[in-house]
């Protein structure tokens, strides 16, 4: 639930009257995990500007409950890398880079949501190209239509 908007981006704070108290689901993490992209519940015509997804700072959220299924855990673990085969683009699973950062005066390892630019090896061994966008990259979704079958199998193995 959106509890306050004190730390959120200015564009989000602008619509505080419409957003405070609304509930939704965190669908993506931005800015090294400090900003959550929240998909709001409710009818589209009731939402400000008809926009369902809003960038909200973690400190402004009141997390009510978390239900993670196996597919969600896979999506958090891997990012998407693309490979074009003929006229078809295939989505492959690429592992995250490990970085150590300083935050709140404590050093800890963080799975960075951004992948370095340049070709990478996917789980299936193919040479693919990740899509870094504004400091983060898209999650690999095993249920996507264009997902590589081998990568899907490998990500779902315990």
pLDDT tens-digit readout, 122-147: 999 999 988 766 556 778 888 888 99
Amino acid 102: pLDDT = 38
Is pLDDT at 96 greater than 50 in this prediction?
Answer: yes
Q: What pLDDT does 36 receive?
A: 85
Phi, psi dihedral angles at 41 (to 5 degrees): -80, 165
Q: Which residue has the higher pLDDT, 6 or 75?
A: 6
Report residue 3: phi and psi, to 5°.
-90, -40
Q: Over the stretch 1-43, which tens digit does the pLDDT of each residue have?
A: 899 999 999 999 999 999 999 988 887 777 666 888 888 988 8
* CA–CA dist 1, 19 (Å, integer): 9
pLDDT at 107 over 50: no
Q: Which residues contact 62 (CB under 8 A, 6 or more apart)?
A: 1, 2, 3
For residues 129 and 24, is the Cβ–Cβ distance under 8 A? no
pLDDT beyond 80 at 117: no
User: Alpha helices of 47-97 — where are they, by DSSP H?
Assistant: 70-77
Please name the residue that has the structure tokens 């999506």: 75
Domains of the chain: which residue ranges? 10-60, 70-156
Mean pLDDT, to the nearest integer, of 60-70? Answer: 67
Residue recorded with tokens 């870094």: 132
pLDDT on residue 135: 57
Q: Are the CB atoms for 56 and 116 separated by under 8 Å?
A: no
CB 147 within 8 A of CB 74: no
What's the start-to-end Cα distance of the chain, in Å?
32
Q: Are 78 and 91 in contact (CB under 8 A)?
A: no
Report whether pLDDT(115) > 60: no
For residue 74, the model assigns a pLDDT of 44
């Amino acid at each position: 639930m959106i509890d306050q908007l004190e730390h959120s981006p200015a564009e989000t704070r602008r619509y505080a009257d419409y957003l405070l108290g609304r509930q939704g689901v965190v669908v993506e993490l931005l800015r090294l995990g400090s900003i959550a992209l929240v998909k709001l519940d409710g009818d589209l015509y009731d939402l400000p500007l008809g926009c369902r997804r809003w960038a909200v700072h973690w400190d402004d959220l009141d997390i009510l409950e978390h239900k993670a299924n196996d597919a969600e855990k896979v999506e958090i673990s891997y990012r998407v890398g693309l490979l074009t085969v003929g006229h078809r683009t295939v989505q492959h699973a690429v592992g995250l880079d490990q970085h150590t950062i300083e935050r709140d005066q404590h050093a800890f390892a963080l799975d960075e949501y951004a992948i370095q630019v340049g070709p990478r090896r996917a789980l299936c061994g193919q040479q693919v190209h990740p899509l870094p966008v504004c400091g983060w990259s898209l999650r690999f979704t095993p249920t996507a239509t264009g997902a590589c079958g081998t990568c899907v199998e490998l990500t779902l193995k315990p």
